[in-house]
Amino acid sequence: MNRFAIVTGAANGIGRAIAARLARDGLRVALADIDLAAANRAANEISAASESGTHDRPIALQVDVADARSVEAMTAAALDAFGRIDVMVSNAGVMERAPFLQMTESFWRRVLDINLTGAFFCGQAAARRMVAQGSGGRIVNVASNSGIFGGRGRAAYGASKAGLINLTQTMAIELAEHGILVNAVAPGPTRTHDGMPAEPGPAVMARMPLARFGRPDEIAAVAAFLASNECSFTTGHVYCADGGFTIAGMTEA
């Protein structure tokens, strides 16, 4: 049976890599992003790289995940196009830093609204459709290892991702009776665009066993498993795709 997925924040970076991987795995994908033009470009590039027929091509949708009405419209559009929703990947987010003492209310609210409330809106909208369909589903939240430990300048970002991890666990408990499995992937330092340095800075390299940036496709591989039918007895977990960054303590000899 064909499976259908929505990936938010799919125009670039990790979201785009997840959408491409799911399409390669045979899912029909809706790339949702606040930048519709960029989402269309990404969808066209994924389609051009695929051997699928026209009916399997990904589609692009516009969404502001911090706006419940926009999320509802996106979900309805995907349902109209696909007829069902089997997978929701809540990837849309912002990684912005500011010193705690100088952080403004507007900065705090923007990061929490997009990273945490956005995942709540998307997860709830998708789960309601999955429950109505009666055949279960998969929800994958893109968290961060910044939600597991503190980091300078990351009061808002870290809090949003820590909240997302707890949201993932709570959703997993409440949705299990409907056959909906909810998990998260927590990327570490990932080189998402060519403007980034070739390797992480010294503070990261000192505690990262694999001593390099991750690639978006490596994060996508974990997300793809969590979205797959092979992930059948795992729910409420956070998988760190971070080169060992989260588990490293004293790394010197």
Whole domain around residue 41: which residue ranges? 4-241
50 pLDDT tier (thresholds 50, 70, 90): confident
- Distance (Å, rounded) from C-alpha 96 to C-alpha 94? 6
Q: pLDDT > 90: what percent of the chain? A: 82
In a domain, 208, yes or no: yes
What's the pLDDT tens digit per position in 113-140?
A: 999 999 999 999 999 999 999 999 999 9
Residue 72 structure tokens: 């509802």
> What's the domain count of the chain?
1
What's the pLDDT tens digit per position in 179-211?
A: 999 999 999 988 888 888 888 889 888 888 998
Rg, Å, the chain Cα set: 18
Active site residue 239: no
253 pLDDT tier (thresholds 50, 70, 90): low
In a domain, 60, yes or no: yes
In a domain, 253, yes or no: no
In a domain, 251, yes or no: no
- Distance (Å, rounded) from C-alpha 22 to C-alpha 136? 18
The pLDDT score that the predictor gives to residue 192 is 87
In a domain, 250, yes or no: no
Alpha-carbon distances of 60 from 5, 8, 25, 197, 219, rounded to whole Å: 12, 10, 18, 30, 21
The pLDDT score that the predictor gives to residue 80 is 97
pLDDT exceeds cutoff 70 at 231: yes
Domain containing residue 111: CATH number: 3.40.50.720
The catalytic residue among 82, 120, 121, 157 is 157
